Chain A
Amino acid sequence: MGALNVIVLVSLIYVALLFCVAFAADRAAARGRGTWLRSPIVYTLSLSIYCTAWTFYGAVGFAARSGLEYLTIYLGPTLVMVGWWWTLRKMVRVGRSQRITSIADLISSRFGKSNALAVCVTVLAVIASTPYIALQLQSVTISFAAFAAVDPTHTGEISETGVALWVAIGLMVFTILFGTRNLDANERHHGLVMAIAVEAVVKLFALLAVGVFVVWGLAGGVEQTLARIDASAIARWEVPGSRWVGLTLLSAAAFMCLPRMFQVMVVENEDEAHLRTASWAFPTYVMLMSLFVVPIAAVGLDLSPMGANPDLFVLTLPLANGQDGLAVLSFLGGFSSATSMVIVAAIALSTMVSNHVVMPVWLHMTGGSAVISGDVRAVAIRARRLSIMVILFLGYLYFRVSGGGAALAAIGLISFVGVAQFLPALLGGLFWRGANRRGALAGLAVGFAIWMYSLFLPSFGASAVMPQGLLENGPMGLGWLRPQALFGAAGMDPVVHAFMWSLSLNIVVFVFVSLISFPQPVERLQGAQFVNVFDHSAPSGGWTGGLAQSEDLMIMAQRIMGAQEAQALFGEAARAQGMSGYLPEPTPDFLSRLERSLAGSVGAATAHAMISQIVGGASVSVQDLMAVADETAQIMEYSSQLEMKTEEQARTARQLRQVNEKLTQISVQKDAFLSQISHELRTPMTSIRAFSEILRDGGEMPPEGQRRYASIIHDEAIRLTRLLDDLLDLSVLENAQIVLSLQDGQLGPLLDRAAVAAGLTEGGMEMRRDPEAERVWLHTDTDRLAQVFINLMSNARKYCDADAPRLDIRVAESDGQLHVDFIDNGSGIPASQQGTVFEKFSRVSETKAGGAGLGLAICREIMARLGGGIDYLPGQAGGAFRVYLPVGRGAAAEAAQ
């Protein structure tokens, strides 16, 4: 059996094995098992699709032709992984929170969900990836050819294009089977990623095995190998500094911008923390991949016949030395490298093509009516499958057209420069809020054009696409526009030259246009979300379905309802769902609640439309929506300003009303007081006038009547005088015009004096006192205090209605205060009147003759001036008043200040 047949069989078995792995992994994931599927190691291994057949075969060729230069291709990603992992983390976070499906989606989302930009990126990505896919097909094809060359049973040339076609078809089937089973591009392809991880292991193992064989098997040990290297041209190869730096930067840029890298790094990412592992594990993987590149190249150059293709040393060295098993393994390594790259690239590109080109066109053609019916899903899947076929066919076509002539590495670098054009828009979008759609479009267009002109088109060879004259003399003889020596930069490496001009002009145009143009509202919104992604998204482990939608809803709600209200609503809903933060799952319950809340602001129809736009994944007029929200916000602001003004007026009115009420109250009090005084004065005067007139007019009257009338006149005159005295006293006290004459005195003698003045010593009322306690010294206005005592004693004497009236005077000290209680054994003051007994003109009983009702009011004022007070003591046997004042020297004086 010939080697070629063996290799075909092995390939088929290998593919079948991969099928099984992918299938099993998908099953495990579907059943919720297989946490190993989500390990950071699998993630890291999936990143190894960076190492394609170009790396597997081409690196050796690269080293054989240009020495250590091949290292730059590894150096770039290593630098990104080690030094820029935080940028990758940001990309992953944004991808997660925005449900990003591809790099085209990321860039378009960032710049206002611009479809033009998405199409632009998609087209550029397809164009740039096509040569790369062709490269993989070519590598598989020539590896078959290598086997055919040593196959004695095989006669004649094998059809390279035939092999390439079969390989392309096989990859197509595999990709469609495992890449388009789910509609949701954000859904992870567990099976596929697992298969890729297996392939990553296979290719590493194969390359290491070949390396070991070459070093120890062929060269005879490390020392001999090193000697061969020293003797070879590789050691003397000088890499120009500019090319070294240029290629390192280029590979770093490509690592971040390649659609397939974005697919595995961001879209297939399970957990941000995996990046941490990958940041050291991936460089390690790459280092192992490059470990034996130079030895293989050096030994290959030594042992192979002149003119042998160094790109195939990995394969031809074992073959030529009869190591068929190793050769098959090596073939599988290259095969793995090629297939994994093509599969992932096809998935990534097909997602972009179907989402940004096919679907919009189809939706436009069907007028959006299908959105309501269920055929979107079917159409999307069909679109994606068709895209995969087209992309692989394009790769095959390029392979046919280019004839597979150019060296592998050269094709790879052309692709790299193409995708590197995404870098300014990508990084600018992630870190610069000022970046906008126009800038991104302009930058991309300029970079793309320069890439096409200076690198891609010339790569087909002189006269293939570009006429020889153009390449040599520039368009219309303008030398400074020569494709490979733009602006007079002649003599540079074509790749570095194209990379430098395309990227730097791309950046300049991007920044400049961004600065001079204004972003749309959606862009501003998205810009803030992207740049500040770490501020408002939690690094959640697993993807949770609708959080991005919730976030959109939140943004919308904040614009309409105001931040606080919206946050309260969302926070409450989140808590009700048992979540922290402000983003609840968009459950139907929550959505209808939100709709009702929004309806309050913008009307039911608009609210419904807004929510269904966001939740239903609207592809149309998000701008319109935002404009509506902005308008609403303006109206709300205006009305809230009006509200504020109204509120201000209301507050002023309220204050005015309060002042007015107070004035009215004062006026009413004044009226009441005046009419009381009037009454109190006029009543005795009425008696005096009436009786004095009777006496004056004479007439028949018994003498006792005359005396009686005269004494009434006398009594009423005294009552009048007393009233006037009281009024004056009260007026003076109330206006704080009194001057206290403070002196020291004992309580006992003071009470004695008061008792005499109140007439208690005349008998008729028993007095019980406590001489011991009354020895206490006071420093106060003793005359005023005596006035209070006299008032209370005479009240007791006048109003106590007991048969054997008695007055207890109790003295006690507590908390630095002296209490003097006056308690009689009468019926006391009714509870209903205890509250008002100290008010002016309040009299307990109308029938009981007495003063004008000013006595207790005066007592209260005096005690306040003395720093103490007077209260009615309820719950005693009879009428009971407590006078209290501070004890000790100076107390009253201080209080009086």
Chain B
Amino acid sequence: MGKTVLLIEDEQNIIEAVSFILSRDGWEVKTHANGQNAMEAVRAREPDVVILDVMLPGKSGFDILSEIRAEAQFASLPVLMLSARGQAKDLEMAERAGANRYMTKPFSNAEVLDAVRALVPS
């Protein structure tokens, strides 16, 4: 049984692209399309790694990450942040919120795959 990725992202095309890439690599991809209830999704799916968009409807990715880190069982849950905002301060905010990795859109597929693989050692 492969490892589980929870993809929290609102843009339909990107969900489809990332899901395709990771599924082909043997990951089980679960998706959640908005900021609200993201925490419930994390608890319910118990993913091995989370890919988290920053600009989400309802709640920002940074807030969701803070909530994840606030719970002891997810303190070391690997989180990869994706953002369409490429400014330096976003990177800082991500690090402070406890992101393991931060990538700016548009990304290369290989980069995402490598990053997810690196975050979850087999």
Residues of chain A at the chain B interface (Cβ within 8 Å):
675, 678-679, 682-683, 685-691, 693-694, 697, 699, 712, 716, 846-847
Contacts and interface: CB of A to CB of B under 8 A. Distances in A.
B73 interface: no
A679 B55 CA distance: 8
Contacts of B107: 686, 689-690
A682 B86 contact: yes
B122 interface: no
B17 A687 contact: yes
For B21, B34, B84, B86, the residue with the greatest tally of chain A CB atoms inside 10 Å of its CB is B84
Contacts of A679: 55, 84-85
B121 interface: no
Given A689-B108, A693-B108, 10 more contacts: A678-B87, A679-B84, A683-B14, A683-B105, A685-B105, A685-B106, A687-B13, A690-B17, A694-B21, A697-B109
Nearest to A708: B16
Contacts of B18: 690
A492 B21 CA distance: 140
Contact of A682 (B17, B57, B105, B108): B105
For A678, A686, A688, A699, the residue with the greatest tally of chain B CB atoms inside 10 Å of its CB is A686
A193 B86 CA distance: 106
B10 to A, nearest CB: 7
Contacts of A697: 109
A683 B21 contact: no
B7 to A, nearest CB: 13
Interface residues of B, number: 24
A83 to B, nearest CB: 94
A709 to B, nearest CB: 8
Nearest to A715: B13
B53 to A, nearest CB: 10
B57 A846 contact: yes
For A690, A699, A846, the residue with the greatest tally of chain B CB atoms inside 10 Å of its CB is A690
Contacts of B95: none
Given A682-B106, A690-B109, A694-B109, A712 B13 contact: yes
Interface string B10-52: 1101101110110010000000001000000000000000000
Nearest to B55: A679
B106 A688 contact: yes
Nearest to A685: B106
Interface in B79-99: 84-87
Given A682-B105, A697-B109, A846-B57, A687 B85 contact: no
Nearest to A701: B20
B109 A687 contact: no
A697 B104 CA distance: 21
Nearest to A700: B24
Contact of B87 (A675, A686, A687, A694): A675
A691 B108 CA distance: 10
Interface of B: 10-11, 13-14, 16-18, 20-21, 24, 34, 55, 57, 84-87, 104-110
Contacts of B10: 846
Nearest to A681: B84
Contacts of B108: 689, 693
B14 A687 contact: yes
A697 B24 CA distance: 12
B36 to A, nearest CB: 11
Contact of B17 (A675, A694, A699, A847): A694
B31 to A, nearest CB: 15
12 contacts: A682-B105, A683-B11, A683-B84, A683-B105, A687-B17, A689-B108, A690-B18, A690-B21, A693-B108, A693-B109, A694-B109, A699-B24
A683 B85 CA distance: 10
Contacts of A846: 10, 34, 57
B84 A694 contact: no
Contacts of B17: 686-687, 690-691, 694
Contacts of B109: 690, 693-694, 697
Contacts of A693: 108-110
B84 to A, nearest CB: 4
A678 B11 CA distance: 15
Nearest to A693: B109
Nearest to B104: A682
Which label, helix, strand, loop or mixed, suits the secondary structure of the A interface? helix
A671 to B, nearest CB: 8
A187 B72 CA distance: 98
A678 B85 contact: yes
A691 B104 CA distance: 17
Contacts of B20: 694
B110 to A, nearest CB: 8
Given A690-B18, A716-B13, A678 B106 contact: no
A689 B84 CA distance: 13
B86 A690 contact: no
Contacts of B106: 682, 685-686, 688-690
Top 5 A-B pairs ranked by shortest CB distance? A690-B17, A687-B13, A846-B57, A682-B84, A686-B106
Contacts of A694: 17, 20-21, 109
Nearest to A689: B106
Contacts of A847: 57
Contacts of B105: 682-683, 685-686
Contact of B84 (A678, A699, A716): A678
Contacts of B16: 712
A683 B24 CA distance: 23
Contacts of B34: 846
Contacts of B11: 683, 686-687
B94 to A, nearest CB: 14
Contacts of A716: 13
A27 B56 CA distance: 102
A130 to B, nearest CB: 105
A239 to B, nearest CB: 114
A686 B21 CA distance: 14
Nearest to A699: B24
A502 B11 CA distance: 116
A675 B107 CA distance: 17
Nearest to B82: A686
Contacts of A683: 11, 14, 84, 105
A368 B16 CA distance: 107
B108 to A, nearest CB: 6
Contacts of A688: 106
A560 to B, nearest CB: 59
A832 to B, nearest CB: 15
B25 to A, nearest CB: 11
A661 B83 CA distance: 29
A78 to B, nearest CB: 102
A847 B34 CA distance: 10
A748 B13 CA distance: 40
A688 B108 CA distance: 11
Contacts of B55: 679
A590 B20 CA distance: 92
A680 to B, nearest CB: 8
A687 B20 CA distance: 12
Contacts of A690: 13-14, 17-18, 21, 106-107, 109
A717 to B, nearest CB: 12
Contacts of A675: 85, 87
A698 to B, nearest CB: 12
A345 B16 CA distance: 124
Nearest to A719: B13
Nearest to A843: B57
B28 to A, nearest CB: 19
A231 B109 CA distance: 153
A693 B109 CA distance: 7
Contact of A686 (B14, B57, B110): B14
A682 B109 CA distance: 15
Nearest to A712: B13
Contacts of A712: 13, 16
A685 B84 CA distance: 10
Nearest to B56: A846
A685 B107 CA distance: 9
